[in-house]
Structure 1
Amino acid sequence: MENGKKAAIAATLILIVAVGVRIGMIYHQRNAPVKPVPTAADEKISDDDLVFLKKKRPDTMAEIRTLIGTKLWVSAGGQMDYYPFAGHRVAYGKSAGILLGAEPLIVKDAVEQVAPKSATFRIPGGDRQVSLVFTLPQSADATKEYAVPVGYRETGRYTFYTDEIFFYDDPHELYKHWGPEIWKAVDSHQVILGMNERQVQLSLGQVSKSVSQDYGNRMVVYANLGKPMAVTFVNNKVTAFRPDQGF
């Protein structure tokens, strides 16, 4: 009997000690100084990443027609063929040119038309393709109208790509921190040392291939309207460029 009492007392003491230790640990955890979450020392947000790019997300013809009378600037440079427009018809037979990066245009109308297969490489044809009719204010004939596909209708539903093709605000203002030298190169569709990947893509257009997925530290070949240009970036700055010779 005496041994049983001693065992019970010992067990109680062990439990009390364990509870005390646990309470002490909880107190220490709750009152210890908060440690800051470690962050990469070199992690920085660039000025480009702070730029707000407006999105409209249209999904009806009524919404796409709100662009009539507005000025847009090309974001998807070197990618979009445009066509002559006359008699309220898109003349798909022959491309009138390719829209260049940061190029301004004035929207005159939005039309639907059955598109030939040759005009559905970038934008699907659907049941009917939707094009924006526009003029080029910086061209030799600022009143001549053209049309560029921007969406399509399929079984009564519309899909548009204007958010991906255009800037709704002047990129010269959005990215004014680039400075006049960079903008001179972009507007003349050239590459100069020190440009970053975003600037070169707006200047030369679509990327056709690259040797790496390491953005800003790789060699990239830009289609450049049929004159491919190989550009090398280190720390997201152009360090070398030349006509592409294959790799």
Structure 2
Amino acid sequence: MQSGAKAAIAGTIILLAAVGARVGMIYHERNAPAKLPAAAATEKLSDDDLVFLKKKRPDSMADIKTLYGTTVWVSAGGQLDYYPYAAHHVAYGKSAGTLLGAQALLIKDAVEQVAPKSATFRIPGGDRQVSLVFTMPQSTDPAKEYAVPVGYRQDGTYTFYTDEIFFYDDPHQLYQHWGPEIWKAVDAHQVILGMNERQVELSLGQVSKSLSQDYGNRMVVFANLGHPMAVTFVKNKVTAFRQDQGY
């Protein structure tokens, strides 16, 4: 009997010790300083990423008219042809040129007109295409008017792409941190060593292709208005460039 009692008592002591240890562990866990989740790795924003680009989101001709008398600058360089304009008519028959990156345009008017298929490659024609009438203050003929398609009307509803085509503020001021050497190259539509992809895109145009999706670490061939240029980027800096065989 004594042996059985001793065994029972010993078992009880072991059980109590185990329970006490568990209670102690729970107390420690509940009262220990909270473990904060590991901070997620954050991607460092560049000065370019911090630039605020104004958007107007026009959806009516009344919205477009607010641009009259203002200067806009081309963001979608190398993409849009512009046409001669006179007597409230866009002469779609022959392109007068292609808008270049950072080019300044003084908006004078807007016109709706049925567009030929040849003028709907970038901007749909809809029932009627909408073009902005403008002059180029920095050109040799600053009073000459041209027109560029920026939207269309379909079944009474307007769609505009001005937010994608233009800067509403001078990019030379928005990106003044680029410095004079980079801006000299951009305004001359050239590429120099050390430029980043955004700078080359504004300089040579947005029409480009690449076999890689690794932005800033790849080779990109820019159409460059029929003069293809192959540009190599490493850590988002131009390390080499050359004329390409074709686009």
TM-score after normalising by structure 2: 0.89
CA distance in 2, matches of 1:157, 1:9: 85
Cα deviations by residue, 1:124-166 (Å, 9 ceiling, x for unpaired): 1111111100001111111111100001111111111000000
> Which of 13, 27, 52 pairs up with 2:31?
27
Paired position in structure 1 for 2:197? 197
Paired position in structure 1 for 2:125? 125
Code of the aligned partner of 1:224 = N
Paired position in structure 1 for 2:69? 69
Kindly indicate whether the alpha-carbon contact (under 8 Å) linking 2:228 and 2:246 is maintained by their aligned counterparts in 1: no
Paired position in structure 1 for 2:81? 81
Paired position in structure 2 for 1:39? 41
Matches for 1:102-117 after TM superposition, within 5 Å: 102-117=102-117
CA distance in 2, matches of 1:122, 1:12: 81
> Following superposition, which runs of at least 4 residues in structure 1 exceed 4 angstroms of deviation?
5-20
SS at match of 2:140: coil
Paired position in structure 2 for 1:96? 96
Q: Which runs of 5+ in 2 are unaligned?
A: none
Cα deviations by residue, 1:198-217 (Å, 9 ceiling, x for unpaired): 00010000233112111111
Paired position in structure 2 for 1:54? 54
The 1:12–1:238 alpha-carbon spacing in structure 2 relative to 1, beyond 3 Å, is same
SS at match of 2:32: helix
CA distance in 2, matches of 1:15, 1:63: 75
Kindly indicate whether the alpha-carbon contact (under 8 Å) linking 1:204 and 1:224 is maintained by their aligned counterparts in 2: yes
Kindly indicate whether the alpha-carbon contact (under 8 Å) linking 1:104 and 1:138 is maintained by their aligned counterparts in 2: yes
Paired position in structure 2 for 1:160? 160
The 1:63–1:8 alpha-carbon spacing in structure 2 relative to 1, beyond 3 Å, is farther
CA distance in 2, matches of 1:8, 1:147: 96
Kindly indicate whether the alpha-carbon contact (under 8 Å) linking 1:207 and 1:220 is maintained by their aligned counterparts in 2: no
Code of the aligned partner of 1:27 = N
The 1:19–1:158 alpha-carbon spacing in structure 2 relative to 1, beyond 3 Å, is farther
Kindly indicate whether the alpha-carbon contact (under 8 Å) linking 1:65 and 1:110 is maintained by their aligned counterparts in 2: yes
Code of the aligned partner of 2:245 = Q
SS at match of 2:134: strand
Report the number of matched residues. 241
> What fraction of aligned residue pairs are identical, expressed as a percent?
73
CA-CA distance at 1:8 after TM superposition: 10
CA-CA distance at 1:9 after TM superposition: 11
Paired position in structure 2 for 1:225? 225
CA-CA distance at 1:26 after TM superposition: 2.1
The 1:240–1:111 alpha-carbon spacing in structure 2 relative to 1, beyond 3 Å, is same
Paired position in structure 2 for 1:214? 214
Code of the aligned partner of 2:41 = T
TM-score after normalising by structure 1: 0.89
CA distance in 1, matches of 2:198, 2:108: 29
Q: Which runs of 5+ in 1 are unaligned?
A: none
CA-CA distance at 1:225 after TM superposition: 0.6
Cα deviations by residue, 1:55-89 (Å, 9 ceiling, x for unpaired): 11111110011000000000001111001111101
CA distance in 2, matches of 1:13, 1:125: 84
Code of the aligned partner of 1:147 = A
Kindly indicate whether the alpha-carbon contact (under 8 Å) linking 2:136 and 2:143 is maintained by their aligned counterparts in 1: yes
Kindly indicate whether the alpha-carbon contact (under 8 Å) linking 2:82 and 2:146 is maintained by their aligned counterparts in 1: yes
CA distance in 1, matches of 2:61, 2:16: 80
